Amino acid sequence: MSIKVYVPIDSGSVALGADDVATAIAEKAESTGADVKVVRNGSFGMYWLEPMVEVETDHGRVAYGPVSPDDVDTLFASDFLTGGEHKLYLGRTENIPFLKSQTRLTFQRCGFIDPVSLEDYRKYDGLTGLENALKMTDEEIVTAVTDSGLRGRGGAGFPTGIKWKTVRDAPADQKYIVCNADEGDSGTFADRMIMEGEPFVLIEGMIIAGLATGATKGYVYTRSEYPAAIRIMNEAIEVARAAGVLGDNILGSGKVFDMEVRMGAGAYVCGEETSLLNSMEGKRGVVRAKPPLPALEGFLGRPTVVNNVISLCSVPVILEKGAQYYRDFGMGRSRGTIPIQIAGNVKHGGLYEVGFGLTLGEIVEQIGGGTASGRPVKAVQVGGPLGAYFPKEMFDTPFDYEEFAKRDGLIGHAGVVVFDDTVDLMKQARFAMEFCAIESCGKCTPCRIGSIRGTEVVDKLARGEDPDLQIELLTDLCETMKFGSLCALGGFTPYPVMSALTHFPDDFKPRALDVAAE
Ligand SMILES: Cc1cc2nc3c(=O)[nH]c(=O)nc-3n(C[C@H](O)[C@H](O)[C@H](O)COP(=O)(O)O)c2cc1C
Ligand code: SF4
């Protein structure tokens, strides 16, 4: 039997040279007559070790990384095909501390399987949640999701079960499940990673959402910058359709659900659910006023569940192992696990899934290993471009929706971006306003005009023009944007701005900002 060698196909790994490594291994195997089958798997999310190559041996999967094509000769010479020692030897994959210390419920198979092999997916208990759901009533499924305590992982943290109940209870001839895979937040990649590494779990979650709400059609809306995710999702959908997992007779149950992938152009605001629906309908990506809620009048005016990728991917394990099992992880009202994405200036950047409750300091310093530059951490931005900057003094904040909100921060899509002491927080505050100005859909004044005035005020502050007045103006402007904006783009931009001003006042001294060069 061929020896299986795993080389990730995930775009993060490909960007680091995984395709060349896969080719080099296949060529070397051929030239040496070794019977090797190169399997392209998803990433485990340990990006500082990518491309991480694994070999299936008698004593489990053994990992090496980060591998470059130049290492392939010495790997073969070191008998890596039987798990031999080598300078890049990492031991058994599951024992790598970063992976071993996680609680992987949502990402449980990501990395272990060939993303488009339904056989692999089933081998690791995939589709058990769906099989259980098919034996339940729609109401029972909604109750299980509600009882699990699952809250939307897209940013707002809205209880998923309540959203599903609203759609289930809405009378309509057609309902939809829309998966929000726009993933615009800076430093986030969980949606991409799971779509590229374990697409069947998203398909399974969407079918279960359909069974729970009476929706028979689903869409995955993602961005043009995610071509590999689009390709892999489409391939997996075809495999699922051919196997009778999707279509007119789901696993022989007579139930109906089908889905397709839709691609957006990559506007940040198109991740906002109503703007996303407009984009899907072929309209300009402008935010819609609420009410009506998308749950009642969503895609094409029909009741629609809009859920983030990770919310939907968390559903199969809830149906597989039960609501109580899931809600036993976490703290307070933040139940279950959260795939934290650690990025920026950090030694061990990657995806770390764990129950809610770790402190920010544990995430950045213990798991992330501190900065990649070796300089002291100065600030951490959590929750994407609309998230607050936290100083080290706030490292005791537990990763929990309410605890972050209490400190004027947010978890968002769980992106954690680390900065060392060379960061200039006045520049970051200006950048937040500029980002809002560029990405604003233009529908409401506080955001459309306020963000431009915001950059001007920061510029005046930098030039030393009446600093006290500018700080008063900036604070007032942030209040107006926070309370007067129609959606969270304008409404949350004050978080990075005000946190920078509050926690790093020394950075707001007059000086040349040097922003034109960027
Ligand atoms: C400007 C803006 C951008 C957003 N971008 C995303 C996104 O990329 N992905 C996402 O899932 N939710 C995003 N959201 C949140 C969605 O509007 C919505 O709350 C979410 O898709 C609901 O799914 P959930 O309940 O599963 O989190 C964004 C919101 C705003 C205001
Ligand atoms: S806050 Fe900004 S993005 Fe949101 S609706 Fe208003 S103008 Fe559009």
- Residue 163: which H helix or E strand, with range? helix 160-169
223 lines ligand 1 (CB under 6 A): no
* pLDDT band at 518; cut points 50, 70, 90: very low
Ligand 1 centroid–CA 268 distance in Å is 10
pLDDT at position 513 is: 76
Per-residue model confidence as pLDDT tens digits over 373-399? 999 999 999 999 999 999 999 999 999
Structure tokens at 363: 């995430």
Per-residue model confidence as pLDDT tens digits over 426-459? 999 999 999 999 999 999 999 999 999 999 999 9
pLDDT at position 114 is: 98
439 lines ligand 1 (CB under 6 A): no
* pLDDT band at 515; cut points 50, 70, 90: low
277 lines ligand 2 (CB under 6 A): no
Q: Give the number of whichever ligand sits closest to the CA of residue 157.
A: 1
451 lines ligand 2 (CB under 6 A): no
pLDDT at position 511 is: 80
**Mean of all residue pLDDT scores within the chain:** 97
Structure tokens at 350: 């990657």
Average pLDDT over residues 114-140: 98
Is the Cβ–Cβ distance between 197 and 10 less than 8 Å? yes
User: For the whole prediction, is pTM greater than 0.95?
Assistant: yes
pLDDT at position 512 is: 77
CA distances in angstroms from 51 to 46, 47, 88, 350, 414, listed in the order given: 9, 8, 11, 13, 24
132 lines ligand 2 (CB under 6 A): no
Of ligand 1's listed atoms, the one at least distance from the Cα of 271 is: 5
Q: Whose CA is nearest to atom 8 of ligand 2?
A: 441
Q: Whose CA is nearest to atom 6 of ligand 2?
A: 444
Average pLDDT over residues 200-205: 98
pLDDT at position 517 is: 40
Per-residue model confidence as pLDDT tens digits over 171-200? 999 999 999 999 999 999 999 999 999 999
Average pLDDT over residues 278-295: 96
Average pLDDT over residues 420-428: 97
Average pLDDT over residues 358-382: 98
Backbone φ, ψ for residue 421 (5° rounding): -75, 5
Per-residue model confidence as pLDDT tens digits over 259-280? 999 999 889 999 999 999 999 9
190 lines ligand 1 (CB under 6 A): no
Question: Ligand 1 pocket: which of 189, 191, 225, 272 to mutate (most atoms <8 Å of CB)?
Answer: 272
Burial profile 339-348: b = 16 or more Cβ within 10 angstroms, e = fewer: bbbbbbbbbb
Strand partners, 330: 335
Ligand 2 centroid–CA 267 distance in Å is 13
Q: How far apart are CA 179 and CA 376, in angstroms?
A: 39
Ligand 1 centroid–CA 483 distance in Å is 19
pLDDT at position 1 is: 85
Q: Whose CA is nearest to atom 20 of ligand 1?
A: 154
Is residue 246 pLDDT above 60, yes or no?
Answer: yes
pLDDT at position 425 is: 97
Q: Whose CA is nearest to atom 8 of ligand 1?
A: 183
Per-residue model confidence as pLDDT tens digits over 48-75? 999 999 999 999 999 999 999 999 999 9
Per-residue model confidence as pLDDT tens digits over 453-502? 999 999 999 999 999 999 999 999 999 999 999 999 999 999 999 999 99
156 lines ligand 1 (CB under 6 A): yes
Report the Cα–Cα distance between both ends of the chain, in Å, rounded. 54
Q: Which amino acid, residue 189?
A: F
User: Of all residues in the chain, what percent carry a pLDDT higher than 70?
Assistant: 99
The CB density around residue 267, as the number of other CB atoms within 10 Å, is 19
- Contacts of residue 309, defined as CB under 8 A and 6 or more positions apart, other chains included, come to 153, 179, 180, 181, 183, 190, 191, 194, 195, 202, 220
Q: How far apart are CA 498 and CA 82, in angstroms?
A: 56
Q: Whose CA is nearest to atom 23 of ligand 1?
A: 307
Half-sphere exposure of 430 (CA within 13 A, CB side): 22
